[in-house]
Chain A
């Protein structure tokens, strides 16, 4: 009887959570799964970052110093695969898990068991991928694009890589299905679409992109697999196949993938800038339409990655102009973020600092992208360090700075503790300075003709490579400050208020900090929704 009473009391306790390893292995709670995604992404960020430091150390001076060319190629390939599929994408899924149910007034994600499965696939996928570096013949070394015929020449690592990519793709697709189903079916009554926070909107559109393009990548690598093991010749010219077809299929996935990495960043910046400007976002609806337009355009620009492969003039013109068109909705977003700050009551806590740096530095990456969109110019820039500088400006001070802005913004909500703002500001300044020391000189190297993906280079490129390597180590080691800040906040400290930031709006800020283990089991009232929806 006493036991029965205790069980029933525990069941009634809405903050009841399982303990020990079962809490994590059998996790179905969106907050726990979100935490696991974020920890996993952070781990991968340091593994991929360690590989980047290996690459930059080798490029400190001309000649071969630390790694042989084969390992160098493996490092460039694995660095990209790990950062894209292991760090940035899982980080966004972590944010989605933590925030979307709280922001739309839902008790959890719509499909919690699928959610658990989506996450737990990932550690296996990356164990297989990283493990492929230790089999005979070494790991994948043909670049993350896996272009045949080079990728077909890989050793025992080939099937491991293909299997790992299939697993990552399955995880992403299941995660995307869960996001769409949650947003479309689990919103609290009164939370109409155009009241949803922009982070939710950005993820909804990202999820549709994922469902459309991850299967395309899966199809492409399945065909690589059959070419390698089952005698098909999809991409083998000797058998009547076409290696260029792989490039088309790959980039039909690959270009939207770039927006999969950056659209949630737009969502986060659209939450942070209004909060620290103490003003609603300027042009909420145009922000939604701009994200949707960018997503649509991302499907019709893929061949701008292939201008030097050769295509008819009409094709070059179409893909050049379509690519340039993306600058229009992107410009709308940059204008709206700037207009949100106009005459706002600004303050510069770490989330705002990272969001502002995102605004400036992502725009630099956007501009160099416009330069690369110009066909005759691309003939010069293609496969040089200019391209490396371009996409790293989009992905590091773009996507990763937005992740940092988001972590600093919601950390008090997640942990229930305020963190050390001075340390956060120090982390920002070190990151912002070193990221430019790291990547800006790569524009000069590329324009001077240094090719990408080489372990050795002509002596005239030495100075800027040395500067870039100093930036890499400075940036890499600065990130340890973030780990320390998160660790400290998770362990304790000053209690955070429910609305940790004065200007923060959204349903998640109506919940206590940290939120109860099961939140919004009773949907929020229309009044609470209206207060939270003051964009």
Chain B
């Protein structure tokens, strides 16, 4: 069984998309915890 060029290209696009989404999730955790701490530190 071989993958066609279109399949490979589509797979590459899906891979990059998934990576960007996961990167944004990680960034959201980073920023989210800092923002939560800022809110909690308000007098």
A residues within 8 Å of B by Cβ?
110-111, 114, 173, 176-178, 180-182, 184-186, 188-189, 211-216, 218-220, 222-223, 233-234, 240-242, 245, 249, 522-526
Contacts and interface: CB of A to CB of B under 8 A. Distances in A.
A177 B19 contact: yes
B26 A186 contact: no
A260 to B, nearest CB: 14
29 contacts: A110-B19, A111-B16, A177-B19, A177-B23, A180-B18, A180-B22, A181-B15, A181-B18, A181-B19, A181-B22, A182-B15, A188-B1, A189-B3, A215-B27, A215-B28, A215-B29, A215-B30, A215-B33, A216-B29, A218-B30, A219-B32, A219-B33, A223-B34, A234-B37, A240-B41, A240-B43, A242-B41, A245-B40, A523-B3
Contact of A185 (B2, B11, B37): B11
A194 to B, nearest CB: 20
Contacts of A188: 1
A257 to B, nearest CB: 14
B14 to A, nearest CB: 5
A177 B31 CA distance: 18
A518 to B, nearest CB: 14
A273 B11 CA distance: 34
A114 B1 CA distance: 28
A241 B43 CA distance: 9
A240 B42 CA distance: 8
Contact of B11 (A186, A212, A219, A245): A186
A245 B29 contact: no
Given A111-B19, A211-B26, 4 more contacts: A215-B28, A216-B30, A234-B38, A526-B1
Nearest to A174: B23
Contact of B25 (A186, A211, A219, A241): A211
A233 B41 contact: yes
A392 B25 CA distance: 32
B30 A223 contact: no
A343 to B, nearest CB: 37
Q: Chain B contact residues: over half helix, strand or loop, or mixed?
A: helix
Contacts of A182: 15
A219 B29 contact: yes
B25 A523 contact: no
B1 A523 contact: yes
Contact of B22 (A177, A218, A522, A526): A177
B28 to A, nearest CB: 8
Nearest to B11: A185
Contacts, number: 82
A529 to B, nearest CB: 10
Contacts of A218: 30
A439 to B, nearest CB: 34
A218 B30 CA distance: 7
B3 to A, nearest CB: 7
Contacts of A180: 18, 22
Nearest to B23: A177
A173 B26 contact: yes
Nearest to B31: A219
B26 A215 contact: yes
B37 A249 contact: yes
Nearest to A216: B33
A219 B2 CA distance: 45
A219 B30 contact: yes
Nearest to B28: A215
Contacts of A173: 23, 26
Contacts of A186: 11, 15
A185 B18 contact: yes
B26 A214 contact: yes
Nearest to A105: B1
A507 to B, nearest CB: 14
A524 B3 CA distance: 11
A283 to B, nearest CB: 30
Contacts of A242: 40-41
A245 B27 contact: no
A189 B2 CA distance: 9
A188 B2 CA distance: 10
A522 B2 contact: yes
Contacts of A525: 1
Contacts of B16: 111
A245 B3 contact: no
A212 B40 contact: no
A528 B36 CA distance: 50
Contact of B1 (A178, A215, A249, A522): A522
Nearest to A240: B43
B15 A185 contact: yes
A189 B33 contact: no
B24 to A, nearest CB: 10
